Amino acid sequence: MNNDELIIGEHKFNSRFILGSGKYSLELIKAAVENAGAEIITLALRRAISGDVANILDYIPKGVTLLPNTSGARNAQEAVRIARLAREAGCGDFVKIEVINDSKYLLPDNYETIKATEILAKEGFVVMPYMYPDLNAARSLRDAGAACIMPLGAPIGSNRGICTKEFIKIIIDEIDLPVIVDAGIGKPSQACEAMEMGASAVMANTAIATAGDIPKMAAAFKNAIEAGRTAYLAGMGRVLESGSSASSPLTGFLHN
Amino acid sequence: MEQRINHMEYLPDMEQIKSDIMDRVISETENYDYSKYTKSDVKTALSHQTKTLDDFKALLSPAAMPFLEEIAQQARIETKKHFGNSVYMFTPLYISNYCENYCIYCGFNCKNKIHRAKLNKEEIEKEMQAIAKTGLQEILILTGESRKMSDVEYIGEACKIARKYFKLVGLEIYPVNSNEYAYLHKCGADFITVFQETYNSDKYETLHLAGHKRVFPYRFNAQERAVMGGMRGVGFAALLGLSDFRKDAFATGVHAYLIQRKYPHAEIAFSCPRLRPIINNDKINPKDVHEPQLLQVICAYRLFMPFASITISTRECERFRNNVVDIAATKISAGVDVGIGGHGDNVQKGDEQFEISDTRNVKEVYDALIKKGLQPVMSEYIYV
């Protein structure tokens, strides 16, 4: 029995690990998905339309929810176009919005992301926006109809961990939508940390794609994410975050 | 001898944009004295997570040569971070070899007696069909530099045909004005590569004796005009061996760096060509740019701009190319023909620009990448 489901829009998932599909050999995707226990896999639409030879869509196991992303979009208008193309290409209603207008750091443009979210949510997409962790932007995304919030932990591909921890924590505390930490997570321990903080799920690609044994690393992430989630549900944090608390009241003597 | 025009002065009809990038690149390059960099500068550069301009200078200096293994190791890590094991495949298609320029090292130069030809629309389509059959999804359209024989409209038509068969269309043509780049973008092209050949304008003057190409600043500002015209990405290169290769590689990097700073959305690419023999002159060679020096340059580009695309040319041999795509290069051509026509069963109509070294077809390159544990990617691009 598992009542701890991840709910995005109206869709329920048992796994809290969203796996990326880029940057590694197509032959390994199936094994990575299986070892990760992943139910959602992201793929760049621009990669999915690459013709008959080495087309990534041929390698993604059936039954996994496709989460096409709009990478390549530099503004809201382009993101909207790519999302519509993804739907036409049979990739479903999920879309991860990535609007990147900076070729060096690949940091998302929150303003354009909000605009794209508003348009696509109205069109019935399950919109999952990748964003820079700013509370005001997260609120605007929620109001625009986002199904979750995907703040970055560190620059994409950097494997630096959750550099933006404090700000992601604020979003987790303030926004009543699933918060999925995306980008920058380099190690299973960092994925675990994100889950302990109360993130609803973790998205990772480069950390797995650049590992020596990709399926094995996918399994390590799966375990770390489950451990972090269990710890969060177990109500950790009182000792760590607020100092130790005594088991019996300290002020009880006043009433004696 | 004919009168040579002033190579630093724009000709009528050449668009002049407001930009200080050329002056900055030239002054940075003039001040770059690579002999003053030491082992310790190279070590410092290697210790920095993000490389500064000064680190880039150290990595290109002779002092860095003994550290080539360490540099390659670090370059490989950066490449994997940004690209994983993906290697992008493409092929060039030369549609015309008419040229009005007299560049003494180039097979297409107007004084070289070669078979000249230009493909018509039907021929372009046939060539593209033959190329598309190999599975490639990215094409780079090239012409000799003759506005008369291959005008912008002709190139635009080629782009439109290319869009029917390929996801991604790049251009390597003579520099044009920003409104013409905008037109070509509308026709389907999204990437522009312009080789500056050498960034030393004095040397440039002695190598480019006639034609529009002789005008150094117009060529220099081509990438910026292309971005202004709406192109997604721009490619930079010096033809290594023409002049002081360390300074030229440095200038190429700074040029790209300043364009990216000014236009943060622009995607940056490097090519790293060395001189090759041409028809009627088999003596041309890359001089002091041997394979280790070439690898040093490629790795320095990677470390300085880890996110940039780096193309490895068929000017290099199979062994070098197979290895460098696992270190720093991210794009490789295959099934290359640098003449006019001749793909598939089509008959070649015009002669080649230079002699290629790696003659493998698409399948051979594809299989070699797989064998190395790399993932060939036919395209990761969408025209929006």
Interface confidence, given as ipTM, is 0.83
H-helix or E-strand spanning residue B75: helix B68-83
| Structural domains counted in chain B | 1
Q: Is residue B11 part of a domain?
A: no
Token digits for B293?
């020096």
> Considering only CA atoms, which of A178, A171, A175 is closest in space to residue A13?
A178
A211 touching B (Cβ < 8 Å):
no
The pLDDT score that the predictor gives to residue A1 is 41
> Considering only CA atoms, which of B32, B38, B19, B78 is closest in space to residue B249?
B32
Q: How far apart are CA B329 and CA B314, in angstroms?
A: 13
Q: Is residue B7 part of a domain?
A: no
Q: Is residue B360 part of a domain?
A: yes
The pLDDT score that the predictor gives to residue A227 is 96
Token digits for A248?
């019996």
Token digits for A226?
């489950």
Q: What is the CATH number of the domain that holds B244?
A: 3.20.20.70
The pLDDT score that the predictor gives to residue A255 is 79
Distance of CA A179 to the CA centre of its chain: 7
Which residues of chain A are within 8 Å of residue B374 when distances are taken between CB atoms? 25
Q: How far apart are CA B334 and CA B331, in angstroms?
A: 10
Q: How far apart are CA B167 and CA A45, in angstroms?
A: 12
Q: Is residue B9 part of a domain?
A: no
Tell me which residue has tokens 């208008």.
Answer: A77
- Tell me which residues of A are annotated as active site: 96
Q: How far apart are CA A99 and CA A110, in angstroms?
A: 8
Q: How far apart are CA B106 and CA B219, in angstroms?
A: 17
Per the DSSP assignment, residues forming a β-bridge with A128 are: A96
Q: DSSP 3-state assignment of B28? A: helix
Q: Is residue B2 part of a domain?
A: no
B85 with A23: Cβ contact below 8 A = yes
Q: Is residue B384 part of a domain?
A: no
Please state, in angstroms and as integers, the Cα–Cα distance from residue B298 to each residue in A88, A89, B34, B238, following that order. 40, 38, 17, 12
Token digits for A16?
């809290």
A134 touching B (Cβ < 8 Å):
no
With a cut of 70, list the residues of chain A below it in pLDDT.
1-2, 236-247, 256
Contacts of B356 (CB under 8 A, 6+ apart): B276, B314, B315, B336, B338
Domain holding B141, by residue range, is: 24-377
Q: How many CB pairs under 8 A join A and B?
A: 86
Token digits for B132?
């598309």
Q: Is residue B4 part of a domain?
A: no
Q: What is the pLDDT along chain B (384 residues), one digit of tens a residue?
A: 567 899 999 999 999 999 999 999 999 999 999 999 999 999 999 999 999 999 999 999 999 999 999 999 999 999 999 999 999 999 999 999 888 888 888 888 888 888 888 999 999 999 999 999 999 999 999 999 899 999 999 999 999 999 999 999 999 999 999 999 999 999 999 999 999 999 999 999 988 888 889 999 999 999 999 999 999 999 999 999 999 999 999 999 999 999 999 999 999 999 999 988 777 777 777 788 999 999 999 999 999 999 999 999 999 999 999 999 999 999 999 999 888 888 888 888 888 888 888 999 999 999 999 999 999 999 989 888
The pLDDT score that the predictor gives to residue B217 is 96
Q: Is residue B10 part of a domain?
A: no
Contacts of A5 (CB under 8 A, 6+ apart): A12, A13, A14
Which residues of chain B are within 8 Å of residue A52 when distances are taken between CB atoms? 135
Select the residue from B79, B81, B332 to test the A interface by mutation, using most A Cβ atoms within 10 A: B81
A206 touching B (Cβ < 8 Å):
yes
